[in-house]
Structure 1
Amino acid sequence: MGDPGLRRLVLGTLLAAYPGPVPPDWAVDLVAEGLAGHTLFGTNVHDPAQLAASTAALRAARPDVLVAIDEEGGDVTRLAHATGSPYPGNAALGAVDDTTLTHRIYAAIGAELAAVGVTVDLAPTVDVNTADDNPVIGTRAFGADPARVAAHSAAAVTGLQSVGVAACAKHFPGHGATIADSHHELPTVDADAALLRARDLPPFAAVVDAGVQAVMTAHIRVPALTGDGPATFSRAVLVDLLRGEYGFTGAVITDALEMKGAAVAAGGVGSAAVRALAAGADLLCVGAKVDAALVERVVAEIIGAIGDGRLDRARVEQAAGRAAALAAWTLDALPRDLPVPPAPVPAGLGYQAARRAVRVEGDLTGLGRPLVVQVYAAATIAEGRVPWGLGPHLSDVAQVRVIATEADPAAVGRLAAGRPIVLVGRHLHRLPGGPALVGALAATHSVTVVEMGWPGRWRPEGVRAFVTTYGASHANGRAAAEALGLTD
Structure 2
Amino acid sequence: MSRPAGDIGRQLFIGFPGTELSAGLDHLIRAVAPGGIVLFQRNVESAPRVRDLLDQAQALAGEHLGRGLWVAIDQEGGRVQRLRGLFEPLPAARELAAAGPGAVAQYAGLAADQLRSLGIHINFAPVLDLATEPGIGFLQDRCLAADPEDVALLGQIWIRTLQDRGISATAKHFPGLGLAALDPHHHLPVLETYREAQMPPHLIPFERAVAAGVHAVMSSHALYPFWDPDHPATLAATVGRDLLRRRMGFTGAYLSDDLDMAAIRRRYSDAEVARLGLAAGLDAFLLCQDPEHCEPFLKALADAVKSDGRLAAHHQAAIARLERSFGFHRQRR
Question: Matches of 1:131 and 1:180 in 2, distance apart?
Answer: 14
Within a 5 Å distance, the mapping from 1:59-98 to structure 2 comes to: 59-60=58-59, 61-62=61-62, 64-80=68-84, 86-96=89-99, 98=100
Q: What is the DSSP-based 3-state SS (H/G/I as helix, E as strand, rest coil) of the residue aligned with 2:91?
A: coil
The match for 1:13 is 11
CA distance in 2, matches of 1:45, 1:93: 25
TM-score, length of structure 1 as denominator length: 0.63
Amino acid at match of 2:327: A
The Cα shift of 1:134 comes to 3.9
How many angstroms does 1:88 deviate by?
0.8
Question: CA shift at 1:165, angstroms?
Answer: 0.9
**CA distance in 2 between partners of 1:93 and 1:210 (Å):** 20
Code of the residue aligned with 2:21 in structure 1: it is P
Distance across 1 between alignment mates of 2:142 and 2:165: 22
Question: How is 1:248-259 mapped onto 2 (pairs within 5 angstroms)?
Answer: 248-259=250-261
Alignment of 1:334-345 (within 5 A): 334=332
The structure-2 alpha-carbon separation of the partners of 1:19 and 1:124, relative to structure 1 and needing over 3 Å to count, comes to same
Structure 1 vs Structure 2: percent identity of aligned residues? 29
| Aligned CA distance change for structure 1 residues 225 and 85 (closer, same or farther; 3 Å) | farther
Q: Which residue of 2 aligns with 1:182?
A: 184
Q: Could you say which structure has the larger radius of gyration?
A: 1
- Please list every run of 5 or more consecutive structure 1 residues that lacks an aligned counterpart in the other structure: 337-488
Please tell me whether residue 27 in structure 1 is matched to residue 31 in structure 2: no
**Alpha-carbon shift at residue 266 of structure 1 (Å):** 1.6
Three-state SS of the structure 1 residue aligned to 2:149 is helix
Q: Tell me, in whole angstroms, the C-alpha distance in 2 between the residues paired with 1:301 and 1:144.
A: 40
Deviation at 1:99, TM superposition (A): 1.6
1:289 aligns with 290
How far has the Cα of 1:5 moved from its partner?
6.9
Aligned to 2:39: 40
Alpha-carbon contact 2:15-2:289 (below 8 Å) kept: yes
**What SS class does the counterpart of residue 161 from structure 2 fall into?**
helix
Where 2:77 maps in the other structure, the secondary structure is coil
**Contact 1:274–1:305 (8 Å) recurs in 2:** yes
Q: Provide the residue aligned with 1:324 in structure 2.
A: 323
Shift of 1:30: 4.4
Give the superposition deviation at 1:243: 1.1
User: How far 1:289 sits from its partner (Å)?
Assistant: 2.4
Question: Which residue number in structure 1 is paired with residue 122 of structure 2?
Answer: 120
Aligned positions, number: 325
Note if 1:156 corresponds to 2:154: no
1:205 to 2:203 alignment: no
User: Is the Cα contact below 8 Å between 2:137 and 2:178 reproduced in 1?
Assistant: no
Q: Which residue of 2 aligns with 1:346?
A: none
Contact 1:14 1:35 in 2 (8 A): yes
Distance 1:254 1:264 in 2: 16
Distance change in 2, residues 1:289/1:84 (3 Å): farther
The structure richer in helix per residue is 2
> How far has the Cα of 1:41 moved from its partner?
0.8
Question: How far apart are 1:123 and its partner, in Å?
Answer: 0.8
Cα distance in 2 for residues equivalent to 1:273 and 1:120: 23
Cα separation, 2, equivalents of 1:165 and 1:275 = 29
**Aligned-pair CA distance for 1:25:** 3.7
1:76-475 matches, within 5 Å, as 76-80=80-84, 86-96=89-99, 98-190=100-192, 191-197=194-200, 199-267=201-269, 269=270, 271-291=272-292, 294-309=293-308, 312-332=311-331, 334=332
**CA RMSD, Structure 1 to Structure 2 (Å):** 2.1
The whole-number CA distance in structure 2 between the counterparts of 1:300 and 1:259 is 20
2:148 alignment partner AA? P
CA gap of 1:131–1:177, structure 2 versus 1, over 3 A, is: farther
Secondary structure in 2 matching 1:255: strand
The one-letter amino acid paired with 1:218 is: S
Counterpart secondary structure, 1:7: coil
Distance 2:125 2:282 in 1: 17
- Check whether the contact 2:137–2:179 (CA below 8 A) recurs between aligned residues: no
* CA distance in structure 1 between the aligned counterparts of 2:125 and 2:68, rounded to whole angstroms: 20
State the SS of the aligned residue for 2:110: helix
